[in-house]
């Protein structure tokens, strides 16, 4: 299994303690994160890598790929989806966790803090891909596409950084909304991409 954007290895650590015989691999663009991951999960094979650039070592190599909180960093997810399809073995699956738009609109958000210069200080990294767009890309790369909505029942407290997400108080059914200081309500979920045989 491959965890793309594994950061400091929290998910790999969970998998390592739960599924002992699992072959664990992880990638991230930040070597300082991988250093922390190596100390948490010494048996995992970790390397610096970019999902948007094809890695020949990964072709047809994985039954399972996870990519949590990464795809929204890409304005055009085509290369990411294409490489996921290339890295999966036939019948293998990639699980993407992100925020998705349920309408046929891809949303690109830039922001700056009050008092910063426009446009010099604009920051990006908030892309909300539509489920429709991702499904179309998956079809061109022989991937079946399924989506499951994510519902938060626990509390995530606001942090010092208002761009980081937190949860609202629960509604009558116990469901909380995930929001942030950009004024966004996150429609998060899991996209399951399965490579056809």
How many other CB atoms are there within 10 angstroms of residue 54's CB atom?
14
Give the residue among 73, 61, 69, 74 at the shortest CA–CA distance from 25: 61
Reported as a single tens digit per residue, the pLDDT across 49-71 is 999 999 999 999 999 999 999 99
The CATH number given to 50-153+187-195 is: 3.40.50.150
CA–CA distance, 32 with 26 (Å, rounded to integer) = 14
pLDDT number for residue 42: 95
What does R_g of the chain's alpha carbons equal in angstroms?
18
**Mean confidence (pLDDT) of the chain:** 94
CA–CA distance, 171 with 182 (Å, rounded to integer) = 22
Helix 78-87 vs helix 131-140: angle between axes, to the nearest 10 degrees?
50
Task: Verify cis geometry, omega within 30 degrees of 0, for the bond prior to 119.
Answer: yes
CA–CA distance, 2 with 70 (Å, rounded to integer) = 14
pLDDT above 90 for 39: yes
Reported as a single tens digit per residue, the pLDDT across 142-192 is 999 999 999 888 899 999 999 889 999 988 888 899 999 999 888 999 999
Q: What is the pTM of this model?
A: 0.91
pLDDT above 90 for 48: yes
Q: Where are the domains of the chain?
A: 50-153+187-195
DSSP string for residues in the chain: -EEET-TTSHHHHHHHHH-TT---EEEES-HHHHHHHHHH-TTSEEEE--TTS--GGGTT-EEEEEEES-GGG-S-THHHHHHHHHHEEEEEEEEEEEEEESSS--EEEEE--TTS-TTTT-EEEEEEEEHHHHHHHHHHTTEEEEEEE--B-S-----SSTTS-EE----TTS-B-EE-TTS-EE-EEEEEEEE--
pLDDT number for residue 38: 97
CA–CA distance, 123 with 182 (Å, rounded to integer) = 12
């Amino acid at each position: 299994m491959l965890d793309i954007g594994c950061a400091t290895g929290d998910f790999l650590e969970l998998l390592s303690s739960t599924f002992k015989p699992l072959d664990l691999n992880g990638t991230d663009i930040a070597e300082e994160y991988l250093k922390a991951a190596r100390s948490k999960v010494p048996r995992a094979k970790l390397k610096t890598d970019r999902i948007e650039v094809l890695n020949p070592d990964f072709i047809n190599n994985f039954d399972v790929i996870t990519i949590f909180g990464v795809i929204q960093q890409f304005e055009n997810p085509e290369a990411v989806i294409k490489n996921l399809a290339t890295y999966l073995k036939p019948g293998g699956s990639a699980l993407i966790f992100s925020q998705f738009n349920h309408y046929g609109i891809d949303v690109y958000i830039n922001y700056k803090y009050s008092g910063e210069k426009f446009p010099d200080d604009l920051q990006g990294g908030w892309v909300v891909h539509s489920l429709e767009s991702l499904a179309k890309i998956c079809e061109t790369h022989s991937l079946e596409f399924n989506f499951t909505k994510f519902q938060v029942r626990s509390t995530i407290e606001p942090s010092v950084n208002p761009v980081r997400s937190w949860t609202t108080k629960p509604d009558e059914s116990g469901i909380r909304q995930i929001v942030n200081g950009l004024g966004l309500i996150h429609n998060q979920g899991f996209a399951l991409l399965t490579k056809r045989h």
